C-alpha cells in the first residue's frame, strides 16, 4: 500500500481534504495509508518547544534542525524507502513528472514547516528534498503537503477509473489540456465549437491539439518554450 507520512505541528489537519472524494474513497479502500506524526513528540524540553529565534536576528521563529531530524529519522524507520520532502517556498517547484515518480514509489514522507521555516542545516544533514508548490507564501506546509499528496494519490494504480486515465491531462504531454465543453450546446448565446459535435474523431483530435498548443503559448509561454515551441517573446533584435 502506498504510504503517506506527514510530519506536522497540526496532525489534526489530516486527512483534511484528502478524506473526501477520490482520495477519501481510496483511503477507505486501502489504496493508500496516512500517518500524521506530531513533530512536538520529538521535542526535548518540558515545554515541548520545536522552534527558536533566528540566528542573526529578525522576526519570527525557526524550526530547530535537531528536533526535525529526530522526527525525520523516526518517520524513516516507520516508512522505509519513502523519499522525504520538505515543503518550503525555497524549494524546487513541484512538477507533474516528479509527481509521477513519487506515485510510482512506495510512498512519500512530507515535512511541513511553520513560522519562518526550518533550520537550513537539516537539508545538509539529511536526505530531504526541498519542494515548493508555487511562487507565493502560505502560512504553513500542511496545505502544500495536501497538494502534493492529492496530485500523487490520483495516480496510484486503481484510484482513478480506467475511463479517466489522466493521460491526456495538462502537463502530461508538456502542454496545457485543450478546453472542455458539455451540455447545454447553447448557453447565454455561446455555442460549443461545431467540430466537437461533428463526430469526426480525426478533426476533433486535430482541433484539440491546436487549442492545446495555442492556449499553452498564450497562457504559459514558459511551458511552451520548454516543450520546444518557438519563443513567444523573441529577444529584441532577433528575426
**Which residues would be at the binding site for ligand SAM (CB under 6 A)?**
87-90, 112-114, 116-117, 132-134, 136-141, 144
Shortest distance in whole angstroms from residue 179 CB to ligand SAM: 27
C-alpha cell at 196: 466537437
Task: Give the residue with the Cβ less far from ligand SAM, 75 or 133.
Answer: 133
C-alpha dihedral, 26 to 28 to 32 to 38, nearest 10°? 130
Nearest residue to 139 (alpha-carbon basis) of 5, 49, 8: 8
Shortest distance in whole angstroms from residue 36 CB to ligand SAM: 15
Nearest residue to 148 (alpha-carbon basis) of 195, 107, 117: 107
Task: Give the residue with the Cβ less far from ligand SAM, 23 or 63.
Answer: 63
Shortest distance in whole angstroms from residue 101 CB to ligand SAM: 18
First to last CA, the chain: 55
E strands within the chain? 2-8, 32-38, 51-52, 62-63, 84-93, 107-111, 128-132, 186-187, 190-191
Task: Give the residue with the Cβ less far from ligand SAM, 43 or 87.
Answer: 87
Task: Give the residue with the Cβ less far from ligand SAM, 136 or 163.
Answer: 136
C-alpha cell at 59: 522576526
Shortest distance in whole angstroms from residue 214 CB to ligand SAM: 29
Cβ neighbours around 224 below 10 Å, total: 22
User: 133 a known binding residue?
Assistant: yes
Task: Give the residue with the Cβ less far from ligand SAM, 68 or 175.
Answer: 68
Q: Tell me the β-bridge partners of 6.
A: 36, 110
Shortest distance in whole angstroms from residue 13 CB to ligand SAM: 13
> Which residue in the shown chain puts its C-beta closest to ligand SAM?
113
Give the Cα separation of 44 and 41 in Å (integer): 9
Shortest distance in whole angstroms from residue 163 CB to ligand SAM: 32
With beta carbons less than 8 A apart as the criterion, state whether 85 and 128 touch. yes
Give the Cα separation of 152 and 159 in Å (integer): 10
User: 136 a known binding residue?
Assistant: yes
User: 181 a known binding residue?
Assistant: no
User: 113 a known binding residue?
Assistant: yes
C-alpha cell at 205: 483530435
Task: Give the residue with the Cβ less far from ligand SAM, 128 or 159.
Answer: 128
User: 228 a known binding residue?
Assistant: no
**Binding site membership for S-adenosyl-L-methionine: which residues?**
113, 133-138
**Binding site membership: which residues?**
113, 133-138
Amino acid at each position: 500500500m502506498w504510504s503517506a507520512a506527514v510530519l506536522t505541528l497540526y496532525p489534526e489537519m489530516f486527512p483534511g481534504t484528502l478524506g473526501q472524494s477520490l482520495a477519501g474513497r481510496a483511503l477507505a479502500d486501502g489504496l493508500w495509508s496516512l500517518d500524521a506524526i506530531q513533530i512536538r513528540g520529538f521535542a526535548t524540553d518540558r515545554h515541548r518547544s520545536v522552534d527558536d529565534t533566528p540566528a542573526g536576528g529578525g522576526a519570527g521563529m525557526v524550526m530547530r534542525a535537531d528536533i526535525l531530524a529526530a522526527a525525520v529519522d523516526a518517520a524513516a524507520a516507520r516508512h522505509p524507502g519513502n523519499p522525504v520532502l520538505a515543503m518550503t517556498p525555497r524549494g524546487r517547484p513541484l512538477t507533474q513528472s516528479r509527481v509521477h515518480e513519487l506515485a510510482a514509489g512506495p510512498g512519500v514522507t512530507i515535512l511541513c514547516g511553520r513560522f519562518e521555516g526550518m533550520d537550513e542545516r537539516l537539508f545538509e544533514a539529511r536526505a530531504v528534498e526541498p519542494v515548493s508548490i508555487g511562487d507565493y507564501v502560505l502560512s504553513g506546509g500542511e496545505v502544500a503537503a495536501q497538494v502534493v499528496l492529492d496530485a500523487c494519490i490520483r495516480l496510484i494504480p486503481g484510484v482513478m477509473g480506467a475511463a479517466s486515465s489522466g493521460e491526456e491531462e495538462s502537463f502530461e504531454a508538456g502542454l496545457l489540456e485543450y478546453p472542455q465543453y458539455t451540455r447545454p450546446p447553447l448557453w447565454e448565446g455561446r455555442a460549443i465549437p461545431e467540430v466537437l459535435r461533428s463526430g469526426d474523431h480525426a478533426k476533433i483530435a486535430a482541433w484539440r491539439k491546436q487549442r492545446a498548443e495555442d492556449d499553452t503559448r498564450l497562457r504559459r509561454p514558459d511551458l511552451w518554450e520548454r516543450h520546444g515551441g518557438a519563443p513567444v517573446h523573441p529577444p529584441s533584435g532577433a528575426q
